[in-house]
């Protein structure tokens, strides 16, 4: 009985932590290289964290890499972050054991060079008004266009459609062939 309660408490704590986690946006300069790491959930305000980290580390670097291990989150915020990463010349890396899912794919797409050693998964973003065709058409009129963003980043724009074909609440793990087809690798 005590073991069950302890297990339940630990599970609840883990779920609460996962639900309240914000992206960790960390920037580190070392030996001519600038590394940014984005992990956990992407939320509004993360663009500002990334921008501040870049401003704190000005200068020329032989290499700039963003390490991705994120469950996704806010697509508009990820697109803003992705444009900043592209403008400042970052490569994108999903390290072994890392996962780039949901809106993290916008950060991966932003890389001037993309390396995937971990996993990449598509997840359809939730529609605030539900999953009906009407709600989807309203969501489609948002101020950002995933297809245009992917075209701007040199990624196959059909990736935007593939994201919306994923069943609600599900993930679609991309294979190496998928990554090549969408030009994510």
Please determine, for residue 155, whether its predicted confidence score (pLDDT) is greater than 70.
yes
Please give the Cα distance from 124 to 160 (Å, whole number).
Answer: 10
Looking at the domain assignment, is residue 97 inside a domain?
Answer: yes
Q: Indicate the number of domains in the chain.
A: 1
Strand pairing category for 33-42 and 24-30:
antiparallel
pLDDT beyond 60 at 10: no
Is 8 within a domain? no
Alpha helices of 69-168 — where are they, by DSSP H? Answer: 75-87, 104-110, 133-140, 146-152, 158-164
The reply to whether 118 falls in a domain is yes
Share of the chain above pLDDT 90, in %: 72
- Does 2 reside within a domain? no
Specify the pLDDT at position 126: 75
List the structure tokens of 69.
Answer: 């291990």
Residue 1 lies in a domain: no
Instruction: Identify the bridge partners of residue 89 per DSSP, sorted by sequence position.
Output: none
What are the angstrom distances between the C-alpha of 25 and each of 44, 164, 178? Answer: 12, 27, 28
pLDDT at 18 over 70: no
57-68 pLDDT, tens digit per residue, is 998 899 999 999
pLDDT (0 to 100) of residue 144? 66
Count of alpha carbons within 13 angstroms of residue 158, beta-carbon side: 6
pLDDT tens sequence across 117-129? 999 999 998 755 4
Q: Do the Cβ atoms of 90 and 64 come closer than 8 Å?
A: yes
What range defines the domain where residue 157 resides? Answer: 21-181
User: For 28-63, what is each residue's pLDDT tens digit?
Assistant: 999 899 999 999 999 999 999 999 999 999 988 999
Which CATH number fits the domain that encloses residue 174? Answer: 3.90.226.10
């Amino acid at each position: 009985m005590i073991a069950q309660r302890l297990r339940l408490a630990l599970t609840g704590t883990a779920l609460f932590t996962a639900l309240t986690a914000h992206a960790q946006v960390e920037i580190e300069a070392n030996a001519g290289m600038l590394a940014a790491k984005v992990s956990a959930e992407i939320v509004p305000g993360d663009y500002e964290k990334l921008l501040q980290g870049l401003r704190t580390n000005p200068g020329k670097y032989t290499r700039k890499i963003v390490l991705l291990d994120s469950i996704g989150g806010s697509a508009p915020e990820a697109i803003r972050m992705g444009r900043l990463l592209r403008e400042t010349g970052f490569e994108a890396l999903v390290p072994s054991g890392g996962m780039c899912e949901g809106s993290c794919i916008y950060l991966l797409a932003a890389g001037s060079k993309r390396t995937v050693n971990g996993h990449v998964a598509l997840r359809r973003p939730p529609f605030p008004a539900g999953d009906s065709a009407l709600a989807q058409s309203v969501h489609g009129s948002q101020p950002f266009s995933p297809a245009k963003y992917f075209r701007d980043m040199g990624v196959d724009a059909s990736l935007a459609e593939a994201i919306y074909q994923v069943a609600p609440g599900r993930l679609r793990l991309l294979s190496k062939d998928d990554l090549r087809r969408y030009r994510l690798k």
